[in-house]
A and B are shown apart, each in its own frame.
Chain A
């Protein structure tokens, strides 16, 4: 059981990371479950989010991402399990906005209040001054509309206001639920840059998305969930390489029939959709090249069909839906063929 972090914020500022390097900025989730009536929204999830990197929380809609985030910030209590943020429980924080800044998926802003007054009211709960309110408004680019009612904001402006709220207390940990939602391409680039910068400052950045492609450009680490369970707790690179295992290799050669014989073997499937080409499943490009060379067969082309991230993600979450039944490889092939 890690020791509790000292309560005094000024002490923390002076001593900084030296206090408890193990806990600072960590989100530790241990065996949490959440039941809403009959429905088990989160089913025994455990993972750790570390500081200094962007961690993506990925899964289809209804996988339990938002529920988990709500439990991290103390809005919902887990039915079972424990969550520690910076070594403690969120509900015990005396200055939560300095510890964790969060933006949840659903809007959390009174539509009748201006962006400025919303942020001011949030800041005042911690005795944070008006200068900081002006500062975060500037930071997210809402200066020109800060005095207008938030109810009239576009989705993208609402997201920016949510991000401003999250950064208000200069928190060690930033939690964002679907931050790219509703942002235009420029806004997406902006948030990507911002999140990477936050992580490079040593902060913990935890964000959810149901889009793998978006996540791949921002996150380094991935926690993938489906049906309320953790499917993978890994890096973006590993997800791609895992998906590539069992992917096909595109081969073009004038000696298709001979090459077929040369490559045939256990676990190898070969398809030919065009003249002079083969799609080989179950052998690496290197192995195919060696086998062709042994028999002195000419190759015009030898291309591993690297699975896209979206494929990898579909495969992983597809598994979750099917609970790893025997149909999985077939599903993967179909998806890969469509992508090719």
Chain B
């Protein structure tokens, strides 16, 4: 490591373009932060690969044994659902990354630098949400589209339910990207609210994946009443072809409920960020 023992005043003063903090500048900064971490690149790669790979894998396996499938299994095969089925894996990668985007700043102390540069604080949260949501939406829309069309190509020689021409097809592909984007925002909100990676990831997994299991222990009538409103059940209505059963809310109602939960968590996180000591 070289050491500059004598410092000329010109260097300290230097070539500083004097700007000021704007939401656009903070967004640019958060974009740099997002992409300059290895964890981001690996998590997003995992999300994309599983988003594309799972549907294709399921389609290939099912088509190979199509002739041996029972009529019931054949009628249950939904080409749209299989086409976007990768979200089952991607949702974990996206949610956990969403948490880490902000909880990682608390665990390393980076948050102090961030908030010293942006003492109004909230622009940091909005920029993080904006950058991460944009990346998630674009990548997941691309990955879901690739998966969807690949699956359609694989199943084309067989008579299956809900394929390309289905009115829900386009909605399910876009809906998958929307669902994962809002899910990521929920992760960011939990990370900002709880300020601790392990705690926030536990809360995320608990809310989305454990709660449905716990609800199943309740009396059937109670469980049936609660179940449609659980975050995951409400959110993924937009990422499936159709839900005929009454245990789910209708597509956009369910998604709106999911957005509502996310808004509450993000709102609470914003209040905590603005009011509490960092």
Instruction: Kindly state the interface size class of chain B when it binds its partner.
Output: 35 or more
A135 engages B11 (CB within 8 Å): yes
Given A94-B20, A145-B1, A112 and B37 touching (CB < 8 A)?
yes
Given A9-B20, A140-B4, A170 and B12 touching (CB < 8 A)?
yes
A128 engages B37 (CB within 8 Å): no
CA distance A170 to B10 in the complex (A): 11
Interfacial residues of chain A within 58-104, with CB under 8 A of chain B in the complex: 70, 73-77, 90-98, 102, 104
| B218 vs chain A, min Cβ distance (A) | 39
B222-249 contact mask (Cβ, 8 Å, vs A): 1 or 0: 0000000000000000000000000000
CB closest chain-A residue, reference B117: A125
Q: Which of A112, A114, A167, A190 contacts B12 (CB 8 A)?
A: A167
B2 engages A108 (CB within 8 Å): no
B5: Cβ under 8 A from any A Cβ:
yes
Q: Which of B5, B9, B33 contacts A113 (CB 8 A)?
A: B33
Interfacial residues of chain A within 191-221, with CB under 8 A of chain B in the complex: 193-194, 197-198, 201
Q: Which residues of A contact B18 (CB under 8 A)?
A: 9-10, 13, 95, 98, 126, 128, 169-170
Instruction: Kindly state the interface size class of chain A when it binds its partner.
Output: 35 or more
B152-193 contact mask (Cβ, 8 Å, vs A): 1 or 0: 000000000000000000000000000000000000000000
| B27 vs chain A, min Cβ distance (A) | 9
A52: Cβ under 8 A from any B Cβ:
no
CA distance A233 to B113 in the complex (A): 29
CA distance A104 to B22 in the complex (A): 24
Q: Which residues of A contact B221 (CB under 8 A)?
A: none
B119 engages A74 (CB within 8 Å): yes
CB closest chain-B residue, reference A10: B18
B268: Cβ under 8 A from any A Cβ:
no
Q: Which residues of B contact A40 (CB under 8 A)?
A: none
A76 engages B277 (CB within 8 Å): yes
B61: Cβ under 8 A from any A Cβ:
no
B3 engages A110 (CB within 8 Å): no
Stretch in A115-123, A295-303, A326-334 with 4+ CB within 8 Å of B:
A115-123
| A156 vs chain B, min Cβ distance (A) | 8
Q: Which residues of B contact A176 (CB under 8 A)?
A: none
A276: Cβ under 8 A from any B Cβ:
no
A124 engages B25 (CB within 8 Å): yes
Q: Which of B11, B25, B108 contacts A110 (CB 8 A)?
A: B108
CA distance A124 to B4 in the complex (A): 26
B7 engages A193 (CB within 8 Å): yes
B120: Cβ under 8 A from any A Cβ:
yes
Q: Which of A76, A112, A122, A132 contacts B16 (CB 8 A)?
A: A132
Q: Which residues of A contact B116 (CB under 8 A)?
A: 73-75, 96-97, 102, 108
Q: Which residues of A contact B32 (CB under 8 A)?
A: 117, 120-121, 124
A325: Cβ under 8 A from any B Cβ:
no
B110 engages A110 (CB within 8 Å): yes
A3: Cβ under 8 A from any B Cβ:
no
CB closest chain-A residue, reference B30: A121
CA distance A77 to B32 in the complex (A): 29
Q: Which of B13, B26, B109 contacts A125 (CB 8 A)?
A: B26
CA distance A95 to B120 in the complex (A): 11
B39 engages A135 (CB within 8 Å): no
Interfacial residues of chain A within 1-39, with CB under 8 A of chain B in the complex: 9-10, 13
Given A91-B119, A136-B14, A198-B12, A128 and B19 touching (CB < 8 A)?
yes
Given A124-B28, A141-B2, A194-B7, A108 and B104 touching (CB < 8 A)?
no
B278: Cβ under 8 A from any A Cβ:
yes
CA distance A186 to B36 in the complex (A): 32
| A180 vs chain B, min Cβ distance (A) | 14
CA distance A73 to B118 in the complex (A): 11
A75 engages B39 (CB within 8 Å): no
A247: Cβ under 8 A from any B Cβ:
no
Q: Which residues of A contact B5 (CB under 8 A)?
A: 186, 189-190, 193
Give B contacts to A, CB under 8 Å.
1-7, 9, 11-22, 25-26, 28-30, 32-33, 36-39, 104-105, 108-113, 115-120, 277-278
Q: 9 closest pairs, A vs B, by CB?
A: A127-B19, A117-B36, A95-B20, A124-B29, A108-B112, A110-B110, A76-B277, A108-B113, A170-B16
**10 sample A-B contacts, Cβ–Cβ < 8 Å, listed by A number:** A74-B116, A74-B119, A75-B115, A108-B111, A110-B105, A120-B32, A121-B33, A127-B17, A197-B7, A201-B13
